[in-house]
Amino acid sequence: MTKIILKDIPDFDKIEVYEDNGGYTALRKALLEMTPDEVTEEVKRSNLRGRGGACFPTGLKWTFMPKGKDKPKYLCCNGDESEPGSFKDREIFEKNPHQFIEGVLLANYAMGIKTAYVYIRGEYYKWINILEEKLQEAYKKGYIGNNILGTGFSTDIYIHRGAGAYICGEESALMNSIEGKRGYPRVKPPFPAQNGLWGNPTTINNIETLANIPEIINNGGEWFSKIGEPKHPGTLLFGVSGHVNKPGVYELETGTPLIKIINEYCGGVTGGKDIKMVIPGGSSMPPLTKEEVMSVKMDNESLKAIGSSIGTAGVIVMNEDTDLVKILIKIAHFYYHESCGQCTPCREGTGWLLRMLKRIDEGKGRIEDLDLLINVSENIEGNTVCALGDAAAWPVKWTIRKFRSEFEKKIPASPVTPEVKNKVHSLRHSEEPVKN
């Protein structure tokens, strides 16, 4: 099994061990033998796609950075990782931090960037301290700072601690946070490559994305493109949690069957129980039924074909005894709490979703509430500045559609009158916001 990031090398986090195993050779190769454009072309050739959820081609994103030196340029490394079910980036900080650091240096060289910020959620106190120590090691070795390796290229890397706001994982809210402003997402366009930090060109990449870059430069983009699924190549760090015997982070090739991850790598479902539902990419992704789990492969195209997405590859497994109404209440409460309040559909709609779900759980729900929940979700989805609205809407909308009977069990039996039928029909086809 190919391992690009979480290699089975003892003490790989130590800079001397990293160097002894080929560390920082990609940086030497790039600075001494390649032009910045050649580094970008190699990344484009690899077809590396972003590991933060959007799966946008990394090399193509780098080409959006304007050339020239008339303005400062910035790289933001998104290590906020606040989505429930996601915990892969801290494995990189702990087990292979120098490969990430080298990836940052290569990205800076390719785009002509002098300053990079690593944005890490404040709760990751332990991993912030680890990375700060590793950055200082790299500075002392001359890999970061002025005139790196005597080539004339200079760049700096700084850590910026978040204050616990999930919304700051959104790239423009992240930039506002670094600038010292409230973490509100920005309206796009303009996009960060044109108008980012302090109005200057900025690129935002995920931690895992950047950790792949050194191996691409060392081995070539074509080598990387042949690993896993051709349209979504490479490996992914799958953070598996929930009802499995061996939860943890597993580096596996894209296209690995989901049921293989659960049964072979994670030791199966706890207690030998059956699977009821799996969320494949962090709490915001549409869930999968047992039947979908049995056949789907873990790459973006395969999951999109069945109406979900790879997200951050945070796999949450739930067994047959799981109360899906209570699970959905926890998810809905998270997004209600974390909504920044800038957009009315999200600010108000997330509260409506939570209150209706609680009403159903308390045995006070109405059968028409299920269609009302879907309708509210669809009035949030696609109507907000950033994707938090979608993240709040998708779990509710798709859990009810795929597991409707789970919710109906908690609703007291009552006759469905023609008036109720007409109300449900109008809700399904209404384009107006629904008031509760």
Confidence at 91, pLDDT banded by 50, 70, 90: very high
Beta bridge partners of 74: 115, 202
188-241 pLDDT, tens digit each: 999 999 999 999 999 999 999 999 999 999 999 999 999 999 999 999 999 999
Confidence at 152, pLDDT banded by 50, 70, 90: very high
255-295 pLDDT, tens digit each: 999 999 999 999 999 999 999 999 999 999 999 999 999 99
Which helix (H) or strand (E) segment holds residue 79: the answer is: strand 74-79
Instruction: Give yes or no: residues 43 and 115 share one domain.
Output: yes
pLDDT above 70 covers what percent of the chain? 95
Arithmetic mean of pLDDT, 424-429: 55
Q: What is residue 284's three-state secondary structure?
A: coil
Q: What is the CATH number of the domain that holds 233?
A: 3.10.20.600
pLDDT for the residue numbered 436: 39
How long, in residues, is the chain?
A: 436
Q: 277 phi and psi, to 5 degrees?
A: -150, 145
Is residue 7, in this structure, part of any structural domain at all?
no
pLDDT for the residue numbered 345: 96
Pairing of strands 235-242, 248-253: antiparallel
Distances (CA, A) of 315 to 19, 94, 321, 338, 344: 33, 21, 18, 21, 30
Q: What is the CATH number of the domain that holds 218?
A: 3.40.50.11540
Arithmetic mean of pLDDT, 332-349: 96
Instruction: Give yes or no: residues 270 and 368 share one domain.
Output: no
pLDDT for the residue numbered 413: 79
At which of 260, 293, 319 does a domain end? 319
Tokens for 69, please give them.
Answer: 């030196």
Instruction: Give yes or no: residues 332 and 419 share one domain.
Output: yes
Is residue 96, in this structure, part of any structural domain at all?
yes
Tokens for 80, please give them.
Answer: 């906020």
118, pLDDT greater than 60? yes
Instruction: Give yes or no: residues 343 and 306 share one domain.
Output: no
Is residue 10, in this structure, part of any structural domain at all?
no
Arithmetic mean of pLDDT, 80-105: 96
Angle between helices 388-402 and 324-338 (to 10 degrees): 170
Is residue 170, in this structure, part of any structural domain at all?
yes
Instruction: Give yes or no: residues 101 and 221 share one domain.
Output: yes
Beta bridge partners of 241: 316
Burial of 190 from C-beta contacts in 10 A (0-12 / 13-18 / 19+):
exposed
Is residue 5, in this structure, part of any structural domain at all?
no
Instruction: Give yes or no: residues 329 and 313 share one domain.
Output: no
The DSSP annotation for 86-117 comes to: ---HHHHHHH-HHHHHHHHHHHHHHHT-SEEE
Report the chain's mean pLDDT, rounded to a whole number: 94
Full domain range(s) for residue 22: 15-225
Rounded to an integer, what distance in angstroms lies between the CA atom of residue 353 and that of residue 223? 47
Confidence at 69, pLDDT banded by 50, 70, 90: confident
Instruction: Give yes or no: residues 55 and 86 share one domain.
Output: yes
Instruction: Give yes or no: residues 35 and 137 share one domain.
Output: yes
341-392 pLDDT, tens digit each: 999 999 999 999 999 999 999 999 999 999 999 999 999 999 999 999 999 9
Q: Between 436 and 10, name the one with better pLDDT.
A: 10
In 3D space, the residue among 243, 392, 412 whose CA is nearest the CA of residue 328 turns out to be 392
Residues whose CB is less than 8 angstroms from the CB of residue 22 and which lie 6 or more positions away in sequence, other chains included: 218
Is residue 177, in this structure, part of any structural domain at all?
yes
For the chain, the straight-line distance linking the first and the last C-alpha, in angstroms and rounded, comes to 52
pLDDT for the residue numbered 420: 57
Q: What is the pTM of this model?
A: 0.92
pLDDT for the residue numbered 433: 43
Instruction: Give yes or no: residues 245 and 210 share one domain.
Output: no
Instruction: Give yes or no: residues 143 and 251 share one domain.
Output: no
Is residue 4, in this structure, part of any structural domain at all?
no
pLDDT for the residue numbered 156: 98
Confidence at 435, pLDDT banded by 50, 70, 90: very low
pLDDT for the residue numbered 423: 57
pLDDT above 90 covers what percent of the chain? 93
The total number of structural domains in the chain stands at 3
At which of 183, 199, 225 does a domain end? 225
Quick check: 245 and 94 in contact, CB under 8 A? no
Arithmetic mean of pLDDT, 35-40: 98
Distances (CA, A) of 268 to 84, 145, 264: 21, 47, 7
Instruction: Give yes or no: residues 313 and 346 share one domain.
Output: no
Instruction: Give yes or no: residues 374 and 236 share one domain.
Output: no
Is residue 117, in this structure, part of any structural domain at all?
yes
Planar angle of CA 55, 57, 61, nearest 5 degrees: 115
Rounded to an integer, what distance in angstroms lies between the CA atom of residue 26 and that of residue 99? 10
At which of 203, 225, 247 does a domain end? 225
Q: What is the CATH number of the domain that holds 359?
A: 1.20.1440.230
